[in-house]
Amino acid sequence: MTSQPLGLNQALTPATAEHRKAFETKAFEILSQKFEAAMDPRDRWSLTAIVPGSRLRECVHFLRDDPAMRLDLLLDITAVDYLGYPGHDAARYAVVYNLRSQRFAAHRLRLKVWVEEEDPQVPSIHDFFEIANWQERETWDQYGIDFSGHPDLRRLLNHIEFTGHPLRKDYPVRKRQWLSTNDPLILPLEARLEANGFVVLEHVAVNSPSVEETDLLGKSAVEKINYVEKAK
């Protein structure tokens, strides 16, 4: 049991409102001094600190490792699309990082980075938290936010042939898309083999879509339906 970091196997003192307030005051003071953080007035219940995208990585690194902060659990990464939000006057998107501590029960905060519509980019934090890899993939998939430096920014929940980013406010709810093939996954598998020290000597041919599926490529949904109906 020596490999365990001190304290994780001991119960925490339960968080109280006072503890939480004290942490939020202290954390915000440090964040505003070190990383030009601003308080987000939209969060009237707890602390959401807005940091510039350029300072995000050092800020996350600091919050994770600083002995007084220890926000070592990345609960979630998501984005918010404010297109049409009443009275909104900042950038269209925000990427939100939800952090919590496994060392101190009262330590919780969210970081927010504004992302402009023209260039939706944020630096990736996949190397600080293992889970960030998938959370960033999901955010890319749903909102089209580009996490620069992410090693494998693929769609996660939606299909590989899907076009667009469905959680954007301008994505029509009732829009339907024709999806024909399955994800071969061969390239990610080869990448994992190489990461595990293997050298791939002969690449497997990617399952080529059947003749019918190839014929469907490039056709509109209506054309595809007509094509399949005719083939029946």
Partner 1 sequence: MKVQTPEGEHVDLLTVNIGPSHPATHGALRAFVALDGEIIRAASTEIGYLHRGFEKMVEQGTYQQVLPYTDRLNYCSAILNNIGFSHTVEKMFEVEVPERATTLRVLLSELSRLIDHQVCIAAAAVDLGALTNYWYLFNPREEVYSIWEKLSGARLTNAFTRIGGLYRDTYEGFETDVRDVLPKIEKGLDDAFKLLEHNRIFIDRTRGVCPITAEQAVSWGWTGPCLRATGVDRDLRKDDPYLSYETYDFQTVIGSTGDTYDRLLVRMYEMRESLSICRQALSRLKPGPVNTADARLSLPGHDKTYHDMEALINQFKLVYEGIRAPAGEFYGSIEAANGELGFFIVSDGTGKPWKIKVRPPCFTQFAAYADLVEGSLVADAIACLSSLNIIAGELDR
- Positions touching partner 1 (CB under 8 A) are 1, 3-5, 8-12, 14-15, 40, 42-46, 48, 72-76, 78, 80-81, 85-86, 96, 98, 102, 105, 110, 129-131, 133-134, 142, 155-159, 166-167, 171, 173, 183, 185-186, 188-190, 192-193, 195-204
Could you count the other beta carbons within 10 Å of the beta carbon of residue 29?
11
The minimum distance between CB 215 and partner 1, in angstroms, equals 25
**Comparison of 35 and 104: residue with beta carbon closer to partner 1:** 104
Q: Rounded to the nearest 5 degrees, what angle is found at the Cα of 114, between the Cα atoms of 113 and 120?
A: 105
Residue 167 · residue 96 · CB < 8 Å? no
Q: Which of residues 74 and 113 has its CB atom nearest to partner 1 in the complex?
A: 74
Nearer to partner 1, 52 or 188 (CB): 188
Nearer to partner 1, 11 or 231 (CB): 11
**C-alpha to C-alpha distance for 190 and 204, rounded to whole angstroms:** 9
Stated as kind and residue range, the H or E segment containing 226 is: helix 221-231
CA distance 144 to 168: 8
Q: Using CA atoms, how far apart are residues 166 and 189, in angstroms rounded to an integer?
A: 27
CB-based burial, 178-208: b 16+ in 10 Å, e otherwise: eebbeeeeeeeeeeeeeeeeeeeeeeeeeee
CB of 152 to partner 1, least distance (A): 10
CA distances from 44 to 39, 40, 48 (A): 10, 8, 9
Rounded least distance, CB 166 to partner 1, Å: 6
Q: What is the largest CA-CA distance in the chain?
A: 70
Instruction: Decide whether 204 or 225 has the Cβ nearer to partner 1.
Output: 204
Closest approach of partner 1 to the CB of residue 191, in Å? 8
In whole angstroms, the minimum distance from the beta carbon of 167 to partner 1 comes to 6
Min separation Cβ 176 and partner 1, Å: 12
Q: Please, which residue, 34 or 98, has the CB nearer to partner 1?
A: 98
